């Protein structure tokens, strides 16, 4: 897998890929590959992201071109990196409840919920989408980090009869306005009956899958959770064939679109030392839920006392600062560093640099101005409302 | 820039954390990286064969800030740490280190850190590539022990090779220079707080400097480079060739959660006589009694020289059937042989067993041999 011709004056190859890329990353056996890896590579994936010890296509053409494709047509993403923690056993529900402040008694079998997993201190371990496959059977579809160890560790001495493991499951995301048509072509009209954040278990001929009406775009979208990786190449080909009439293309997850939508990325916008309230995920915390959960006391105290810092939406003035930020950008007020920008992108349709910044609460009010140190020098920035586009999520629910 | 075979481009992004030596490493000529514990590890400055000779003949500096520490402290710090590992820590004195495995209830390996005992109830676990922090924090939830588990601001660098004694001697004096194998000292270098250990991932004489204040990273890097100048120090990537010669294992390739200590040759880290309870005790006793079904063995792979790292696991065959996988394979320049490890069923694990390894370029014959391939008694690093 040779690299393409590159601009030697640009050691991080920013121009070629639309953002900075490590010049070379060692491909080693311990870097896992999804069942779609070969297919995605053949389709033109040329720079990667490493996530949950696995490779994920990070760029095919360039992030702006891929963004327009996503918002106008339909895209397929190889997100086999979304590893699952499977929870089952007689106390499965009790254990799943223990892991999250969200009230799962409100989550029926066949439903999905976006949840935060919290520590006894209220810190966020991860922010998976939870799938309830049956009364005591759950998947946590993870963002980056080995949550399997957290869940297994908590299970030790928990006194619950529960099994925690990583199943052979590899998701694909089908996202964009034409995803409904594609999915109907593949699975039939029953697909239209899946409401937002619901799931069905089904088969594509002999290929076992779970389909959810979820995704990381805030466009209409689905995820196909393949339950037997041996069928990976076949499933990929079937999706591509069904998408032909809908102008399908494989692209990478879109930083631009997810930032427009106010979707957070664990390990940049959220870390273990953040609690749900400071990153705007207080709505996923049900302090009074009946079941026991880790972090109740800490979260109650944090809520009562109020947070000291907050993740806010920001607009950074001036011309494009690129499709993604390679490092956390310092936020300055009166010349002093008060926080950092956690994500930043140039939105082609808003024609603005938008992102998130973690700042002290007294600098978090809408309209607050501060400075940001960028690769192109110091810039003015303003705290603005997020999401930046479609705040009520009418688009993905449509 | 020349093309480096066996590499691909990867994003430079906020979610890959950077060590305090990041800028210095790249300014010193790092050309390729690994991602390890969600951090960027400069893993290639020069051809790995050149880096190998530098390591075995001189001294090499590695930016291994990716070795994240899990810090355990509190009144029950000893009991908790002792509960995490099958190795008996009651014999580990303050100021000593131990190589340990951390196991789950089924005896599967969560991680294989080097443990440092900083105080009676104060430990660091220097983690290989898996989120050991999450495991330890998770176990603490229901352990009913008074203990705090956190990731401190600690960033190790390794100074490895026969001349490493001279370099640390010049920096820290004879007390550090003469540290016994697997011992350490807490000290400082003109106010830069560090822990220096006589450990490393090379099986050469070597030290690790655990920097305790990330803001002093560039300063420490330059101090080490200056002190190493007379000894021809060079920054390199960790040497896969040398660690394989030494029989050192790499978590996530030679072992994972699916493996127990016995099948990867780490049974010596399970103390049968350990009285204290630890996670996996029952399972490991049973595995030992029943015997393992598969084993990680040393192999010699015949034919022309292999490269300096595998880009994927290679299938291992016997009688035309896939029976296992090659987890490591390199060409050793001084043994002039291809050496590596293979995970195979126990009936194919005996010394002298012939196997076939399916390389991308075609099948090769291989033989099960003893490991380590070099210096089995570790006389070199202990010297």
In angstroms, rounded to a whole number, what is the distance separating the alpha carbons of residues B359 and B297? 18
Nearest chain B Cα to A252, which residue? B11
Q: Cβ of B152 under 8 Å from any chain A Cβ?
A: no
Hey, are the CB atoms on A343 and B14 less than 8 Å from each other?
yes
Examine the domain organization and report whether A184 and A216 are in the same domain.
yes
Hey, are the CB atoms on A12 and B12 less than 8 Å from each other?
yes
Nearest chain A Cα to B251, which residue? A30
Average pLDDT over residues B36-65: 97
Q: Confirm whether A35 is domain-assigned.
A: yes
Helix, strand, or coil (residue B362): strand
Hey, are the CB atoms on B135 and A23 less than 8 Å from each other?
no
CATH superfamily of the B244-372 domain: Aminomethyltransferase beta-barrel domains (2.40.30.110)
CATH 3.30.70.1400 fits B69-150, yes or no: yes
Q: Looking at the partner chain, which of B14, B110, B131 has a beta carbon nearest the beta carbon of A342?
A: B14
State how far residue B374 is from chain A, nearest Cα, in angstroms: 23
More confident call, A5 vs B4: B4
Hey, are the CB atoms on A27 and B18 less than 8 Å from each other?
no
Task: Pick the last residue of a domain from A201, A228, A258.
Answer: A258
State how far residue B209 is from chain A, nearest Cα, in angstroms: 25
Examine the domain organization and report whether A227 and A94 are in the same domain.
no
Examine the domain organization and report whether A100 and A127 are in the same domain.
yes
Helix, strand, or coil (residue B124): strand
Helix, strand, or coil (residue A98): helix
The 10s digit of each residue's pLDDT in B88-132 is: 999 999 999 999 999 999 999 999 999 999 999 999 999 999 999
Tokens read off for A155: 């299970």
State how far residue B182 is from chain A, nearest Cα, in angstroms: 28
Chain A residue numbers touching B139 (CB-CB < 8 A): 153-154, 156-157
Instruction: Give the least confident one: A6-15, A123-132, A370-379, B343-352.
Output: A6-15
Q: Are B308 and B49 in contact (CB under 8 A)?
A: yes
Average pLDDT over residues A263-291: 98
In angstroms, rounded to a whole number, what is the distance separating the alpha carbons of residues B200 and A96? 40
State how far residue A4 is from chain B, nearest Cα, in angstroms: 9
With 80 as the cut, is the pLDDT of residue A189 above it? yes
Chain A residue numbers touching B257 (CB-CB < 8 A): 148
User: Could you give the percent of chain B with pLDDT greater than 90?
Assistant: 97
Q: Confirm whether A351 is domain-assigned.
A: no
The 10s digit of each residue's pLDDT in A7-65 is: 556 777 888 888 888 878 999 999 999 999 999 999 999 999 999 999 999 999 999 99
pLDDT number for residue A2? 40
ipTM entry = 0.96
The class level of CATH for B22-67+153-243 reads: alpha beta
Hey, are the CB atoms on A153 and B9 less than 8 Å from each other?
no
A1 — pLDDT class (breaks 50, 70, 90): very low
Hey, are the CB atoms on A28 and B279 less than 8 Å from each other?
no
Number of structural domains (chain A) is 2
Hey, are the CB atoms on A28 and B12 less than 8 Å from each other?
no
Examine the domain organization and report whether A229 and A176 are in the same domain.
yes
Examine the domain organization and report whether A88 and A141 are in the same domain.
yes
Hey, are the CB atoms on A49 and B253 less than 8 Å from each other?
no
The pTM score is 0.96
| Segments forming the whole domain that contains residue A28 | 23-82+169-258
Hey, are the CB atoms on B104 and A152 less than 8 Å from each other?
yes
In angstroms, rounded to a whole number, what is the distance separating the alpha carbons of residues A94 and A88? 10
Q: Cβ of B1 under 8 Å from any chain A Cβ?
A: yes
User: Could you give the percent of chain B with pLDDT greater than 70?
Assistant: 99
Q: How far is CA B282 from CA A161, B83, B132, B161, B270, in A?
A: 17, 13, 21, 41, 12
With 50 as the cut, is the pLDDT of residue A93 above it? yes
Dihedrals φ, ψ of B224, to 5°?
-65, -45
Dihedrals φ, ψ of A394, to 5°?
-65, -35
Q: Confirm whether A139 is domain-assigned.
A: yes
Examine the domain organization and report whether A136 and A176 are in the same domain.
no
Nearest chain B Cα to A328, which residue? B14
Which of these, B178, B169, B167, lies nearest to B232 by C-alpha position?
B167
Q: Are B166 and B207 in contact (CB under 8 A)?
A: no
Beta strand spans in A52-169 (E): 54-59, 74-78, 84-88, 112-114, 117-118, 124-126, 129-134, 137-141, 163-165
Q: Which residue, chain included where needed, has tokens 């992030």?
A: A63
With 50 as the cut, is the pLDDT of residue A3 above it? no
State how far residue B154 is from chain A, nearest Cα, in angstroms: 17
Examine the domain organization and report whether A232 and A91 are in the same domain.
no
The 10s digit of each residue's pLDDT in A355-395 is: 999 999 999 999 999 999 998 999 999 999 999 999 999 99
Hey, are the CB atoms on A20 and B327 less than 8 Å from each other?
no
Question: CATH no. for residue A218?
Answer: 3.30.1360.120
Task: Pick the last residue of a domain from A258, A282, A303.
Answer: A258
Examine the domain organization and report whether A113 and A253 are in the same domain.
no
Hey, are the CB atoms on B16 and A1 less than 8 Å from each other?
no
Examine the domain organization and report whether A243 and A211 are in the same domain.
yes
Q: Confirm whether A293 is domain-assigned.
A: no
The 10s digit of each residue's pLDDT in A278-309 is: 999 999 999 999 999 999 999 999 999 999 99
In angstroms, rounded to a whole number, what is the distance separating the alpha carbons of residues A343 and A111? 30
State how far residue B37 is from chain A, nearest Cα, in angstroms: 9
Average pLDDT, chain B: 97
The 10s digit of each residue's pLDDT in B211-237 is: 999 999 999 999 999 999 999 999 999
Task: Pick the last residue of a domain from A199, A225, A258.
Answer: A258
The 10s digit of each residue's pLDDT in B159-210 is: 999 999 999 999 999 999 999 999 999 999 999 999 999 999 999 999 999 9
Q: Cβ of B139 under 8 Å from any chain A Cβ?
A: yes
Hey, are the CB atoms on A25 and B105 less than 8 Å from each other?
no
Size of interface A-B (CB pairs under 8 A): 182
With 80 as the cut, is the pLDDT of residue B351 above it? yes
Question: CATH no. for residue A107?
Answer: 3.30.70.1400
pLDDT number for residue B191? 97
> Per-residue b/e over A249-266, b at no fewer than 16 CB within 10 Å?
bbbbbbbbbbbbbbbbbb
From chain B residues 88-107, the ones with a CB under 8 A of any chain A CB are 104-105
Hey, are the CB atoms on B8 and A24 less than 8 Å from each other?
yes
With 70 as the cut, is the pLDDT of residue B2 above it? no
Examine the domain organization and report whether A253 and A174 are in the same domain.
yes
State how far residue B175 is from chain A, nearest Cα, in angstroms: 38
B1 — pLDDT class (breaks 50, 70, 90): very low
The pairing of beta strand B148-150 with beta strand B122-126: unpaired
Q: Confirm whether A370 is domain-assigned.
A: no
Chain B residue numbers touching A22 (CB-CB < 8 A): 9-12, 32-33, 40
Residue A205 Rama label (left phi>0; alpha psi -120 to 50; beta)? left
Hey, are the CB atoms on B142 and A157 less than 8 Å from each other?
yes
Q: Are B154 and B211 in contact (CB under 8 A)?
A: yes
Cα dihedral: A309, A315, A320, A323 (round 10): 50
With 90 as the cut, is the pLDDT of residue A77 above it? yes
pLDDT number for residue B3? 74
Examine the domain organization and report whether A103 and A249 are in the same domain.
no
The 10s digit of each residue's pLDDT in B28-49 is: 999 999 999 999 999 999 999 9
**DSSP letter (8 states) at residue B288:** H
Q: Confirm whether A340 is domain-assigned.
A: no
Which of these, A263, A294, A7, A114, lies nearest to B134 by C-alpha position?
A294
Query: How many CB atoms within 10 Å of residue B282?
Result: 12
Q: Cβ of B12 under 8 Å from any chain A Cβ?
A: yes
Q: Confirm whether A333 is domain-assigned.
A: no
In angstroms, rounded to a whole number, what is the distance separating the alpha carbons of residues B73 and B84? 14
From chain B residues 265-294, the ones with a CB under 8 A of any chain A CB are 279
All structural domains of chain B with their residue ranges: 22-67+153-243, 69-150, 244-372
User: Could you give the percent of chain A with pLDDT greater than 70?
Assistant: 98
Examine the domain organization and report whether A119 and A222 are in the same domain.
no
């Amino acid at each position: 897998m040779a690299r393409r011709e590159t601009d030697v004056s640009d050691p991080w190859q920013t121009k070629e890929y639309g953002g900075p890329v490590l010049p070379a990353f060692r491909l080693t056996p311990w870097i896992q590959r999804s069942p779609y890896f070969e297919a995605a590579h053949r389709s033109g994936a040329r720079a990667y992201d490493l996530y949950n010890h696995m490779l994920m296509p990070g760029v095919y053409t360039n992030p702006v071109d891929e963004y327009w494709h996503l918002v106008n047509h339909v895209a397929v993403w190889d997100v086999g990196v979304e590893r699952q923690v499977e929870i089952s056993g007689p106390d499965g529900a009790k254990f799943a409840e223990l892991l999250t402040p969200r009230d799962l008694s409100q989550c029926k079998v066949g439903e999905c919920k976006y949840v935060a997993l919290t520590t006894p201190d209220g810190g966020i371990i991860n922010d998976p989408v939870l799938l309830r496959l049956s009364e005591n059977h759950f998947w946590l579809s993870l963002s980056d980090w080995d949550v399997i160890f957290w869940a297994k560790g908590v299970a030790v001495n928990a006194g619950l009869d529960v099994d925690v493991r990583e199943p052979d499951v590899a998701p694909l995301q089908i996202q964009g306005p034409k995803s409904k048509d594609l999915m109907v072509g593949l699975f039939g009209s029953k697909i239209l009956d899946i409401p937002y954040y619901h799931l069905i278990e089904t088969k594509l001929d002999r290929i076992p899958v779970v389909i959810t009406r979820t995704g990381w775009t805030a466009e209409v979208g689905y995820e196909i959770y393949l339950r037997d990786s041996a069928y990976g190449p076949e499933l990929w080909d079937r999706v591509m064939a069904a998408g032909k009439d809908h102008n399908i293309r494989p692209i990478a997850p879109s930083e631009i679109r997810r930032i427009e939508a106010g979707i957070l990325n664990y390990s940049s916008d959220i870390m273990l030392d953040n609690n749900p309230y400071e990153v705007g995920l207080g709505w996923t915390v049900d302090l009074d839920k009946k079941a026991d959960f880790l972090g109740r006391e800490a979260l109650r105290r944090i809520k009562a006392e109020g947070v000291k810092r907050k993740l806010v939406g920001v607009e950074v003035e001036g011309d494009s600062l690129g499709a993604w930020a390679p490092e956390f950008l310092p936020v300055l007020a009166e010349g002093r560093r008060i926080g950092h920008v956690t994500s930043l992108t140039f939105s082609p349709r808003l024609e603005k640099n938008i992102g998130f910044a973690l700042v002290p609460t007294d600098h978090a009010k809408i309209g607050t101005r501060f400075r940001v140190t960028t690769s192109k020098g110091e810039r003015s920035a303003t705290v603005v409302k997020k999401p930046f586009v479609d705040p009520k999520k009418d688009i993905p629910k449509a | 820039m020349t093309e480096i075979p066996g590499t691909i481009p990867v994003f430079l992004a906020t979610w890959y954390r950077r060590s305090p030596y990041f800028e210095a490493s790249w300014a010193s000529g790092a050309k390729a990286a690994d991602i390890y514990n969600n951090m960027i590890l400069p893993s290639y400055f020069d051809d790995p064969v050149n880096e190998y000779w530098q390591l075995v003949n001189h001294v090499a500096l590695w930016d291994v800030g990716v070795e994240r520490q899990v810090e355990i402290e509190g009144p029950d710090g000893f009991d908790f740490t002792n509960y995490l590992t099958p190795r008996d820590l009651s014999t580990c004195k303050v100021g000593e280190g131990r190589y340990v495995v951390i196991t789950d209830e089924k005896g599967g390996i969560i991680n294989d850190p080097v443990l440092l005992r900083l105080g009676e109830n104060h430990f660091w676990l220097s983690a290989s590539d898996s989120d050991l922090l999450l495991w330890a924090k998770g176990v603490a939830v229901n352990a009913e022990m008074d203990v705090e588990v956190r990731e401190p601001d600690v960033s190790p660098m390794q100074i490895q090779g026969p001349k490493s004694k001279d370099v640390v001697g010049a920096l820290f004096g004879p007390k550090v220079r003469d540290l016994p194998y697997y011992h350490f000292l807490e000290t400082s270098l003109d106010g830069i707080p560090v822990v220096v250990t006589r450990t490393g991932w090379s099986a050469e004489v070597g030290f690790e400097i655990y920097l305790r204040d990330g803001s002093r990273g560039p300063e420490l890097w330059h101090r080490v480079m200056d002190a190493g100048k007379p000894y021809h120090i060079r920054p390199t990537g960790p040497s896969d060739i040398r660690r394989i010669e030494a029989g050192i294992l790499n978590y996530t390739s030679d072992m994972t959660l699916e493996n127990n200590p016995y099948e990867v040759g780490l049974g010596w880290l399970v103390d049968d006589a350990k009285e204290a309870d630890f996670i996996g005790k029952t399972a490991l006793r049973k595995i030992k009694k029943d015997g393992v079904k598969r084993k990680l063995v040393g192999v010699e792979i015949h034919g022309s020289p292999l490269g300096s790292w595998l880009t994927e696991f290679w299938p291992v065959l016997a009688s035309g059937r896939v029976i296992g996988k090659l987890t490591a394979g390199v060409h050793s320049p001084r043994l002039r042989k291809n050496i590596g490890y293979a995970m195979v069923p126990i009936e194919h694990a005996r010394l002298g067993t012939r196997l076939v390894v399916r390389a991308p370029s075609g099948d090769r014959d291989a033989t099960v041999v003893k490991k380590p391939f070099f210096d089995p008694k570790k006389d070199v690093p202990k010297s």
